[in-house]
Amino acid sequence: MKYKQVIICTLGLLVGMTQPVLGEFEIPTKTRTGNRADAGNRGPNAPPPKLCLQMGKPLLALVPQSNFGYTLASHPTFWLYIPGYSKSIDFTLIDDNTGDKVYQTNFNVESEQGIISLKLPSVAPPLKVGKQYRWVFVFDCGDGAEDLSVDVVVERVAASNSLTSQLNSAATMMEKIDIYAENGLWHETITELGNLRRSNPDDVAIASRWNSLWQQDYIRFPDYDLTLEQIQDCCDVSDR
């Protein structure tokens, strides 16, 4: 009997130590042409790596492997991994149907390599429900070398009555994030979870959920481990 009690207690401790993970993200059936990673020229005749690439890491648009993500927001937030310092990063939002430029700005990055986010400012035209937009970031590595660039697609959708009810009933932000993930709302999922991770870097439960996002099939970057990267305090273009 004593041995059984020890086993039961041990199992209870192991269960208690299990860290929470994010609910399975519902991958949209849509896919789009695009490029969510740019590691520069790696051919046999390529020049030596640029300073920003000497760590062997690329510019990454943080989206699923489909190069596509849904959002509820009129002015969503876009997430990137940058390989280092840059004198200039250009951001362009394009109507993916007509090719017309919707908004453009540029900003500097003074932080080290890591994950950054950029919210579409209120001065930019709002995304229209049902329309697809291509968002493009161009990273200047300096030294006159070829720029790095990524381009992927976002589509704004309207919240159903059922989804609105679920979100209003959520008791915590974590519950809301799970609802976003289960409904395939990429930009809300990564933005709310990423903001929590940035504000609470020592919170083990938040870190566990953040890490589990990047381990899910169709989201993870097979060659790069984003769970080890710091989320930087960047970038604000609200007045541009």
From first to last of the 240 residues of the chain, give the pLDDT tens digit: 444 444 444 434 433 445 667 778 887 777 788 899 987 655 445 554 455 555 567 899 999 999 999 999 999 999 999 987 777 899 999 999 999 999 999 988 776 789 999 999 999 999 999 999 999 999 887 766 678 899 999 999 999 999 999 999 999 999 999 999 999 999 999 999 999 999 999 999 999 999 999 999 899 998 889 998 999 887 777 655
In a domain, 10, yes or no: no
In a domain, 82, yes or no: yes
How many folded domains does the chain comprise? Answer: 1
Q: Would you state the pLDDT for residue 9?
A: 45
Q: How far apart are CA 173 and CA 196, in angstroms?
A: 9
- From the centroid of its chain, how far is CA 46? 30
Q: What are the φ and ψ backbone dihedral angles of 100, each rounded to 5 degrees?
A: -75, 140
Residue with tokens 């704004």: 156
Tokens found for residue 9: 């207690």
In a domain, 50, yes or no: yes
Tokens found for residue 142: 């300096």
Identify the domain containing residue 27 by its residue range: 21-228
Tokens found for residue 63: 């989206």
- Give residues with Cβ within 8 angstroms of 172, minimum separation 6: none
Please report, for the domain that includes residue 131, its CATH number: 2.60.40.1930
Residue with tokens 């992927």: 152
In a domain, 4, yes or no: no
Burial tier of 98 (Cβ tally within 10 Å: 0-12, 13-18, 19+): exposed
For the chain, the C-alpha Rg in angstroms (whole number) is: 20
In a domain, 237, yes or no: no
pTM here is 0.85
Looking at the chain, the number of H-run helices and the number of E-run strands are 5, 9
In a domain, 48, yes or no: yes
In a domain, 33, yes or no: yes
Residue with tokens 């099939």: 217
Q: Would you state the pLDDT for residue 11?
A: 39
- How far is CA 225 from each of CA 11, 31, 167, 212, 215, rounded to the nearest angstrom? 31, 23, 31, 11, 9
Q: Would you state the pLDDT for residue 154?
A: 98
Tokens found for residue 172: 């915590």
How is 158-175 classified by DSSP, letter by letter? PPPHHHHHHHHH-SSHHH
In a domain, 198, yes or no: yes
Q: How far apart are CA 113 and CA 51, in angstroms?
A: 12
